[in-house]
Amino acid sequence: MTDSTARTPDKLASAQPAQDQTAQDQTASAPVPPASASQASAPCPCGGYPKGATYSQCCEPALTLTTWPPTAQQLMRSRYTAHVKGDEDHLFRTWHPKTRPARIDVGDGAEWIGLRVEAVSAGGVQDEEGAVEYRAAYREPDGSSGELHEVARFVRRARRWMYLGPAEVLG
Ligand SMILES: [Zn+2]
């Protein structure tokens, strides 16, 4: 089930702590054609869950409302991917009504370039609450880069996982 093909995720490489991206040499030895118009075989922007899963196997069902993510981590990943894709609707509907802003605007120009989930606390299929610690790297239009490091809290509402907000924003 783990597909560890040598498709180089380049800037979206570090989705999970284990860094075993074996090939950076897309040009040299990869027999795979470039994922052009269709991103069918490229890893999901979140890095893939499980690692290396494609967008259609990973976050797309959430963004298209085909399924609601069954765990807090998967909801968190789908929200990251929604940031990458500028999907404000998904960010809005996955944010708890109690804490979400009236309007979500992701058009600030920053480009999200990688997600790393560092720790998960509860948030499973049997849980009602959970937390996910992650680092999300971004690049500003001026070329500077930064990282958001957050412990995000999630709760179920009407059986669906919702983002509640940061428990902590760590430096
Ligand atoms: Zn994903």
Q: Which residue has the tokens 């069918």?
A: 40
Q: From ligand 1's centre to the CA of 61, what distance in Å? A: 9
Burial profile 44-61: b = 16 or more Cβ within 10 angstroms, e = fewer? bbbbbbebbbbbeebbbb
Centre of ligand 1 from the C-alpha of residue 82, in Å: 9
What is the rounded average pLDDT for all residues in the chain? 83
**Under a CB-based contact definition with an 8 Å cutoff, are residues 161 and 72 in contact?**
yes
Q: Is the pLDDT of residue 26 over 50?
A: no
**Can you spell out the DSSP letters for 87-107?**
-HHHHHHTB-TTT--SS----
Tell me the percentage of the chain whose pLDDT exceeds 70: 75
C-alpha 168 to ligand 1 mean position (Å): 23
> Span 120-132, mean pLDDT?
97
Say how many Å lie between the CA of residue 87 and the centre of ligand 1. 13
Spacing, Cα 47 to ligand 1 middle (Å): 6
Please name which of 33, 54, 34 lies closest in space to residue 43, comparing C-alpha atoms: 54
> 44 CA to middle of ligand 1, Å?
5
- Tell me the sheet residues that pair with 21: none
Split at pLDDT 50, 70, 90, the class of 11 is very low
Cα–Cα dist 122/61, whole Å: 22
Q: Please state whether the predicted TM-score (pTM) of the whole model is above 0.95.
A: no
Residues surrounding ion ligand 1 at CB below 5 Å: 44, 46, 58-59, 77, 81
Q: Which of 92, 90, 85 lies closest to 66 in space, CA to CA?
A: 90
Q: What is the per-residue pLDDT across 56-77, written as a single tens digit (0 to 9) for each?
A: 999 999 999 999 999 999 999 9
Confidence of residue 2 (pLDDT cuts 50, 70, 90): very low
What CATH code is assigned to 43-170? Answer: 3.10.450.50
Where do the domains of the chain lie?
A: 43-170
Rounded average pLDDT over 152-156? 97
Cα–Cα dist 142/127, whole Å: 42
Q: How far is the CA of 46 from the centre of ligand 1 (A)?
A: 4
Read off the pLDDT band of 39 (50, 70, 90).
low
